[in-house]
Amino acid sequence: MSLSCQMKIFIPPEGFFKPLQRVEGIIKYTIYEEIALKKIIISLKGNGCLSLKGKAKRMFRENYVHLDQIVQEDLRGFALPAGTYEDQFSFVLPKNIPSSILTLQTTTRHEVDCCIQYYIRIKFFRGYWKADKTFKKNIIVKAPLNPRLPMEPVTYRLVKQLGSVISAFSTAVKISATIENSVIRSGDSIKIVYTVENRSYTKLTRIYMKLIEVYSFKPNRPLIKSKNYFDVDNTITIYGFIDSGVTVTNSLTINVPQDKSSLENSALVTRQYYIKIIGELPLPHPNVVLKIPVQIGTDILSNEETQSIEVVNEARSTDQTSNTYYPPPPYWMAMGEIPPGEEDNESPAGEDSEIPGGEEDNEMSSGEDDSDISLSETDNDIVTVVEVNESPAVVENNESSAGVEDAG
């Protein structure tokens, strides 16, 4: 098939498109000799592809948008004479779609190739077992941030108990940090006031803070999910040692790079950000680590826009489940009693028993989240308190630091 094609897409001044924005343009194509066709279609397509290569290679795909505009169609076929033709197109991007991304990474478990792309395509269908002809041009989409974290000051606290061989009294290192706003625009600053109280018998060798970028691939599939951690450049701040019995209060400002933003609305990949305040302890003590989650985006939805998205998602969920019948649970399950016939199989007192949901808890505290961080971040006897507007919501974890970090 001898033809050529040119596409002109009217790109916004920002250089990218946003959800609910109109994508318009003109396609000009030249036919050099008469050809037989069945259909000509202009399409707006958006899809994601994820390749995880480890012991076995797994491929995952996800579709976000597929809109067609039929230019000409005749199932019996039609002849298109030689000449130059011009067609206009106009599409509207959907609301809940992820931003464009292309990344190649190597995690502890997989070699990762992930791509989310959007493009305009024109396709000439020939039929009769003849090869079709396709032309396409990519567009960049950046989705606005849907705030899920508090936009008012929040205080995070962490207490780490240190055992002492000499003294019978337990000692502790306390870190508290107040962040002004957990939802940040790209290019803006993150402002934190933190306090480190060293009530232990040993000194902290140093305190340092950094912004961490976390990629999660297939986050909803615990058995195959894979994570990767990166220190964001030029965001590391180091403070000197803190002697035993000394309390230090400082302010911290982290400038967020313009090209950093959270990635949401995809089941293939997410990109999240955390601020870590790390207190280094001499061996054999593990470090004290307080993790503060933040959301970063080029554009942030207002409260009205966020509520409208939640209403749309709730309506979609209702439509999908309205025709499905779920029978009520049996009486013994609703009342929390032992199933009939299993009274004699009850575990004897003192034996370990399996707790429902324990597998999920182990997934969170397995240490996988921080396996790529060079510092040891395992804490014991930790209590984390998160306060919003002086009304504390307490999250307690007396196991390991990985569990506390995920709770934070």
Q: Is residue 334 part of a domain?
A: no
d(CA 118, CA 124): 20
Q: Is residue 398 part of a domain?
A: no
Q: Is residue 252 part of a domain?
A: yes
Residue of 82, 87, 147 whose CA lies nearest to 121? 87
How far, CA to CA in Å, does 1 sit from each of 75, 125, 133?
A: 19, 11, 8
How far, CA to CA in Å, does 162 sit from each of 53, 165, 305?
A: 42, 10, 47
Q: Is residue 92 part of a domain?
A: yes
DSSP 21: -
What confidence score (pLDDT) does residue 94 get?
Answer: 93
Which backbone phi and psi does 187 adopt, to 5 degrees? Answer: 95, -15
Task: Indicate the number of domains in the chain.
Answer: 2
* Domain match, 174 and 246 both: yes
* Domain match, 188 and 90 both: no
What confidence score (pLDDT) does residue 170 get?
Answer: 61
* Domain match, 74 and 160 both: no
* Domain match, 135 and 162 both: no
Burial class (CB in 10 A: 0-12, 13-18, 19+), 334: exposed
- The order of strands in the sheet holding 83-92 is 3-9, 22-31, 83-92
Q: Is residue 367 part of a domain?
A: no
Q: Is residue 261 part of a domain?
A: yes
What confidence score (pLDDT) does residue 385 get?
Answer: 47
Domain that holds residue 55: 3-139
Q: How many CA atoms lie within 13 A of 92 on its CB side?
A: 3
Place of tokens 């962040």: 179
What confidence score (pLDDT) does residue 167 get?
Answer: 55
Per-residue pLDDT of the chain (408 residues; tens, 9 = 90+): 688 999 999 999 989 999 999 999 999 999 998 888 899 999 999 999 999 988 888 899 999 999 999 998 887 888 889 999 999 999 999 999 999 999 999 888 888 999 999 999 999 988 777 888 999 999 999 999 889 999 899 999 998 887 665 555 568 888 999 999 999 999 899 999 999 988 888 888 888 899 999 999 987 777 778 889 999 998 888 888 888 888 889 898 999 999 899 999 999 999 999 999 998 888 878 888 999 999 999 888 875 555 454 444 444 333 433 344 445 555 445 554 555 554 444 434 333 333 333 333 333 333 344 433 333 333 333 344 455 444 333 333 333 333 333 333
Structure tokens at 8: 């002109």
Q: Is residue 225 part of a domain?
A: yes
What confidence score (pLDDT) does residue 185 get?
Answer: 92
Place of tokens 């090209």: 259
Dihedral, CA of residue 131, residue 132, residue 137 and residue 139, to nearest 10:
-110
Report the DSSP pairing between strands 288-297 and 183-185.
Answer: parallel
The answer to whether the CB of 345 falls within 8 A of the CB of 351 is: no
Which backbone phi and psi does 167 adopt, to 5 degrees? Answer: -100, 145
* Domain match, 14 and 71 both: yes
* Domain match, 274 and 232 both: yes
Q: Is residue 169 part of a domain?
A: yes
